[in-house]
Amino acid sequence: MDKKLLLALILSMGVLFLYPYAMKRFFPAAMNAAKTTPKAEGEAGKGVAAPPVAEEKAAAGRPASTVKEELVKVETPLYRAVFSTIGGGVRSWELKKYSETLKEKDGGVNIADTISRDGSYRTEVLTNGVLEDISFTPSGAALNIDKAGASELVFKGTTSAGLSVEKSYRFTGSSYMVNVELKISNPTKAPFAGSVQTPLSASVAGKDPTGYHQGPVVYYAKDKLTRPTVKEPSLTGGEPKWIGLESKYFLAAILVKPQSGFTWSTRVSAASSSARLEMPLNLNPGGQIVYGYNEFRGPKEYDLLIAQKAGLEESIEFGYFGFFAKPLLVVLNFFERYFHNYGLAIILLTVIIKVIFYPLTKYSLKSMKDMQRMQPQLAALKEKYKDNKEKLNKEMMELYKRQKINPLSGCLPMILQIPVFIALYEVLYVAIELRHAPLFLWIQDLSAKDPYYITPLVMGATMFVQQRMTPSTADPAQARIMMFMPLIFTFMFLKFPSGLVVYWLVNNVLTIAQQYYVNRAPAKA
């Protein structure tokens, strides 16, 4: 039973620490349980291999604009944006609350450098197989909107076929969501047949250095989500709920209204990716059509995305333990609102988890202590039945039964905490709320490793103390092997997010206190 107990402990540790590396290495595209591989052609929302599209054939022959480009600046408390009069697209979208690194606190993150590249969200009209960027005239040169304010930017233009196009952006100072209305009319005497399209483009594709997806993401019918990769370079499908481009922390998306008739396509290469919404445009002379949709360009804050009530929160890659990770993040956000420190929130969460598991931990420590007390009896049984293993096992089971001891109970708290540990690991790696969030002193980013390795070393020391206090039934050889565990853990934790190390360190300290209490309790007669 000692060998089985040791094996169970080692296997538990293997699952605990090798899971994140195995998932990133062998299942990078499956880190979100909602991921699907579309197959069926013609079913609404399902993606299929896309044939060469007309706009790609005509891209090289697209006429260069001879109209001088004008730029329109829009600023709110959340972002600074620059729009172009060519297509009415985005030239720049700088998020003011975020920075690229800790050293650039006030720099802002311009997502137009990655997932909302220059020209994204522009309006194009496909006429006779050729895409045309519309040259617009803006309603103003700049907008400055306060937190409680709202304003509108209107672009007006005419296509080469004589269509009149009016594109209206409606901004609010307290939201990353922008309402868009596209009004197209045909004042000519000839009918028009073509399409109107809205592209998104990114300078990233595949996986980022931490193993998370970057590139197209589509959320469609029956609440399914797909993340096209280089293995699916060209996909197209029916009406989505939303389509966009993502990085680990940021999302640029278009949300369409139900039954609006939009179709989508995505393209992924080794170094770039794109997504596109298309709507048929058939207008009789004097006819008019109006399309409405919303655009989101902002951070993947869980509470923020939930509030949109559009399924945007599914863009956060919580992994297979998302059912644990989401509530953990909700609790951390709740505590942070009161303590204004995610490090303190993690410590409080650790205490609560420890309290929840306390009855099980107490039972486990008592069982291990009782197992240690029974060693003389077990040794006698082993000597008596050393030539009859079947009889030995039967007598040992009877002894455990009489003493009401479960020999494997020592591993139960560790095994049951593995899902919580992995879920917290995912939260710390993927939640933008904890990105650049400090604890105190030298720990200024809970999502990054401890720059001076202080917390991992202290954690290793507490683990050594905990091990010395834990009742042991192992033989001297096994005990010597177990003495290496704190050293192995310390080495593995050196590169873990400091928030995760803080969690494990506090967990160890609380376990030491529990062990001290249990060890002082009088032994069973």
Instruction: Please report the pLDDT score of residue 348 as a whole number.
Output: 93
- 27-31, 224-228, 398-402, 490-494: which range is least confident on average? 27-31
The CA-based diameter of the chain, rounded to the nearest angstrom, is 106
Per-residue pLDDT tens over the stretch 256-297: 988 778 889 999 988 889 999 999 999 999 999 999 999 999
Please identify which residue in the block is written with the tokens 């399409």. 195
**Nearest to residue 237, comparing CAs of 257, 217, 214?**
217
Distance of CA 472 to the CA centre of its chain: 41
| Per-residue confidence band for 50, with pLDDT thresholds at 50, 70 and 90 | very low
Question: Is 239:45 a contact under the CB 8 Å cutoff?
Answer: yes
> Distance (Å, rounded) from C-alpha 508 to C-alpha 465?
9
Report how far residue 339's alpha carbon sits from residue 472's, in angstroms, rounded to the nearest whole number.
Answer: 40
Q: What is the pLDDT of residue 127?
A: 86
- Structure token pair of residue 138: 């803006």
Distance CA 90, CA 374 (A): 73
Token pair, residue 146, equals 């306060």
Tokens of 472: 């042991």
Distance of CA 304 to the CA centre of its chain: 14
pLDDT at 228 over 60: yes
Gap between the Cα atoms of 172 and 450, Å rounded: 39
Residues 6+ apart with CB under 8 A from 18: none
Residue 518 Cα to chain centre, angstroms: 40
Instruction: Name the amino acid, one letter, at 59.
Output: A
Tell me the pairing of strands 71-75 and 142-144: parallel
3-state secondary structure of 93: strand
Angstrom distance (rounded) from CA 158 to CA 144? 27
According to the model, what pLDDT value does residue 478 have?
A: 58
- DSSP-derived letter for residue 190 is S
**Cα 454 → chain centroid:** 28
Residue (of 120, 111, 130, 113) closest to 89 by Cα position:
120
What is the full DSSP assignment across 220-272?
A: EGGGEEE---TTS-EEEES--SEEEEE-SSEEEEEEEPTT---EEEEEE-SS-
Residue 355: band (very low, low, confident or very high) from pLDDT cuts 50, 70, 90: confident
* Tokens of residue 293, six digits: 């949709």
Would you say residue 106 has pLDDT above 90?
no
Q: What angle do CA 298, 303, 304 make, to 5 degrees?
A: 30
Q: Cα–Cα distance between 98 and 458 in angstroms, integer? A: 31
Could you give the percent of the chain with pLDDT greater than 90? Answer: 36
pLDDT tens digit sequence for 448-460 = 888 899 999 998 8
> What pLDDT is attached to residue 212?
86
**Any idea what DSSP says for residue 151?**
E
DSSP state at residue 35: B
Lowest mean pLDDT among 52-66, 92-106, 115-129, 425-439: 52-66
Name which of 421, 316, 496, 470 is nearest 13 in CA terms.
Answer: 421
Strands 288-299 and 273-283 turn out to be: unpaired
Phi-psi region of 420 (alpha: psi -120 to 50; beta: other; left: phi over 0): alpha
The first and second tokens of residue 483, run together, are 């003495």
| Domains of the chain, first to last | 2-22+329-520 (no CATH), 32-97+106-316 (2.70.98.90)
